Structure 1
């Protein structure tokens, strides 16, 4: 079972999402048979991630929700944090901005507790994007500013560029 999801993880990291999915699916079957909730969470999360990268957002939701439930059940705050923002990402891509925001907010809360700056940046950016698409430009600014600061701190040039663009877009779009 672990070999299945480990292979799935490796294939996913190589961006071979369609190849990774059967590994996670088989790992999930075995995990459920053996009542191994850790492996089950890993497989659900992996399937959700693959589906998200394949832009199959609606299909990714049940996997992200199950990964979140298992992380909470197992009291794994770091995995809960990741599952929250992953679920937020799928909801945001489905333009369900008001549903995505609480996911990013909870992920952000957990990221700050754990001093996980990568995850904090993801959540800040996600919140900013939701607010911007809801035309709440002024409210989006502090989230983008924090995402930008974190991207600079982490030396993530591509994410810094995205935050700069989004910040400029929010400033430009606000009809004062």
Structure 2
């Protein structure tokens, strides 16, 4: 009896966490501050929050240029790693080794930012989608009512009583 109830509760939690995505804009990695000014390191989601407001978790990032179909969201972004070519990495990741900032301490892959003018080019664009929780609509569901619940309790109690006496 506990397993079906647990499964039902799990489904309800998953259904309650449904979300919708709305395209809000894009940014090029190279539009960030110049690397040699030691700018702050940003994840793709942090850069989106900086540019569009809100919190990093409000956004999903995609390298797919489709702006009308949320199913194309890749949850990855273009990043500029220090001393390496522009690459694609998870939307929430970043690297900032040593002291704070993209150019400190310097060295191959000691920093990786989604918003810095260093190793990415004009066509390496991160597409930003706002993630919004969608409220669940209340749907009337036929129920047992008080009399039905009492009847069900009596039946289940009787089944339990019968099992108890048979096993003893």
Q: Shorter-normalised TM-score: what interval?
A: under 0.3
TM-score, normalised on structure 2?
0.19
The structure with the greater share of residues assigned to strand is: 2
Larger RCO (CA under 8 A, 6+ residues apart): 2
TM-score, normalised on structure 1?
0.19
The structure with the greater share of residues assigned to helix is: 1
